[in-house]
Structure 1
Amino acid sequence: MSSKVPVSLICEVVPVKKVVPRDPRFDTLCGAFNEKENQEREVERLEHKEQKKQEERAMQIQLLREGKRPQFQKPVEKRLLELVDQYKELKKNGKLKKHIEKHRKKVMLKDKKKMREHNQIVLGES
């Protein structure tokens, strides 16, 4: 005699909701998508970047004309100046606080993940 109980014919099965993929371009919940506006913003950003390069070249040429050696910035210094410009722009638009909060959360999650991995390694070896 088996201890297994047969399933009744009238079985109540909980239905699983079907996951429908959402495309943010056509979804009203994601807000309005304006491709032209995005393109204009991207063009403006690229023009700003190109202008910075031209200013740097002009400065190098000016130093050469004065008879001095040109001083090239290190990549770290360039990155730091870009970061300063980015924060100035965010502050001007009033989005600095939100950006810093997002960055803080991102770093916190990375730290948690590293700690988890470290704990697994330490506990796994012991």
Structure 2
Amino acid sequence: MFLAFYLIKSVLSLTRRPLEISAKKPVPFLRQVVPIRKKVPRDPRFDDLSGEYNPEVFEKTYAFLNDLRKKEKEVVQKQLKKCRNVEQQNKLQQLLKRMTQQEDAQKKCQKKREADLVLKKKQRERAKQGRKPFYLKKSDKQKLELAEKYKELKKSGKLESFLSKKRKRNAAKDKRKLPSKKRV
């Protein structure tokens, strides 16, 4: 048994390449003598080690950033008043505009989150009462948001201007969709 195993091993070793590398052959240029452990990039957004994302917790944790943004905005406004250079003024105006847009987007996101929380509370109350919860479709949520927007515009008195702009936009779209007459 041992002899048969030894014979098979010796035959296989003859057909395979040698275990030692020839000293006469030059060493390759990019030869790794010691294997280097490859660094695996880790994206915290998708990694379980970073935990779950909860917007409410995030807002509470980083609430101090809003104060810093307000201070920065005030500084930019002061610089804009003092500035005499036209190019610098344009840059500062763009920066101020971007800051206000980010602020508005953040407020809009916060309102949406609050509306979702109100809906969730209603669902919980229905479940406590023993009724089956009713979940709104995405289109119904959008209709509710639009109704809320109209209410806010009506309060501020900007509803008419908003509707006139919307009518103009829709008229321009309709005009583009009409077939144009070609002259012969």
Q: TM-score range by the shorter chain?
A: 0.5 to 0.7
> If the length of structure 1 is used for normalisation, what is the TM-score?
0.63
* Residue 27 (structure 1) shift: 7.1
Pick from 71, 81, 85 the counterpart of residue 134 of structure 2. 71
3-state SS of the aligned residue for 1:26? helix
RMSD: 2.8
Larger Cα-atom Rg:
2
Alpha-carbon separation, structure 2, partners of 1:83 and 1:98: 16
* Residue 38 (structure 1) shift: 3.0
**Sequence identity of aligned pairs in percent?**
28
3-state SS of the aligned residue for 2:134? coil
Number of positions where the alignment pairs a residue of Structure 1 with one of Structure 2: 95
Q: Which residue identity lines up with residue 103 of structure 1 in the other structure?
A: K
Q: Deviations over 1:56-88 (max 9, x none)?
A: 111111111111000111222211111111111
Q: Deviations over 1:17-75 (max 9, x none)?
A: xxxxxx9x8279x8993444333322221111100111111111111111100011122
> If the length of structure 2 is used for normalisation, what is the TM-score?
0.45
What residue number does 1:37 align with? 100
Distance 1:46 1:112, change over 3 A: same
Contiguous gaps of at least 5 residues in structure 2: 1-86
Q: Which residue identity lines up with residue 84 of structure 1 in the other structure?
A: A
What residue number does 1:104 align with? 167
